[in-house]
Amino acid sequence: MTTLLILGGLVLLAGGGEVLVRGAVGAARAVGVSPLLSGLVLVGFGTSTPELVTSLLAALRDSPGIAVGNVLGSNIANILLILGVTAAISPVMIRPSVIRRDMIALGLSSVLLLAAVIAGFVDFYFGLVLILALMGYVGLAYARERNRAGEAGAVKARDWTGFGKNLLLTVAGIALTVFGARLLVDGAVELAEGLGVSETVIGLTVVAVGTSLPELVACVVAALRRHSEVAVGNVIGSNVYNALGILGVTAMVSPIRIPPEVIRLDIWVLLGATALLAVFLRTGGGLKRLEGAAFLAAYAAYVGFLATGGV
């Protein structure tokens, strides 16, 4: 039963997230919102919906280990697992100047995440700070990309029929993700109890990897099409949204107690992975296959440590 809950939840999360993104982007285009703004805001939030809903429900059900573990674990998996797989398929080559702004945002969001872990508690006001930081990042990104693209910002004709249809898709996507997250959280709690491990470990591994499946699929497809630079942007953007948006929204709805065990290892693994990514992108202009293999080996060692009772 536990396996069915987890698998069913993951399927609904993946399907619901896809439906939500399609509906939200379609609705935005129907009323004249630029594809650029849609991509920065709607797609960014849409692909992070599984993590958001899962962490939110976990916090409301007094399972902070799953809520926080999901955020930390997803960000660790995004760098070490997903970029590791991507680089193994096709070396990632990207000019450092292209992602300088995003890497700065990633570094700042990681520092704020560290501050939250050290504080041991994320309340409404800290959550508000995280959300404001995310809004600043999105605003700056939009302004810069708009100037670069030379968009005129002309008002387009509105298609209210198309808007209505896509709005229904959006609502359906939200419903699927909420129900899927409920199943996943229930299954994760049962799994933790059945295996005799902490909810934090399950959140860092099973839940984190499960909710990161949309990013994994997108990055693998990008690598197969030799567009691995897209994968880097996807991972960096996802990690910023996770650290600022998901933790921020969750804390504003329901204050979160940070499990003390994450300060012993997990936050440092995330900071180390982020620093390594910055070094590789800055000095080598990307990730080679050997570096991708090193990321995968590091992730395997990390999960193995957790599985053997390291936390």
Q: What is the pLDDT of residues 134-147, one digit of tens each?
A: 999 888 877 776 66
Longest Cα–Cα distance of the chain, Å, equals 59
SS3 62: coil
Is residue 153 a contact partner of residue 26, using CB atoms and an 8 Å limit?
no
Distance CA(7)–CA(186), nearest Å, equals: 11
301 Cβ neighbours under 8 A, 6+ residues apart: none
Q: φ and ψ at 31, to 5 degrees?
A: -105, 15
Is residue 279 a contact partner of residue 107, using CB atoms and an 8 Å limit?
no
CATH homologous superfamily of 2-151+161-307 equals NCX, central ion-binding region (1.20.1420.30)
Q: Low-confidence residues of the chain, pLDDT below 50?
A: 152, 155
The residue extents of the domains of the chain are 2-151+161-307
Spacing of C-alpha 33 from chain mean position: 24
In this prediction, residue 132 carries a pLDDT of 96
Distance CA(134)–CA(130), nearest Å, equals: 6
Q: What is the pLDDT of residues 288-298, one digit of tens each?
A: 889 999 999 99
pTM for this predicted structure: 0.81
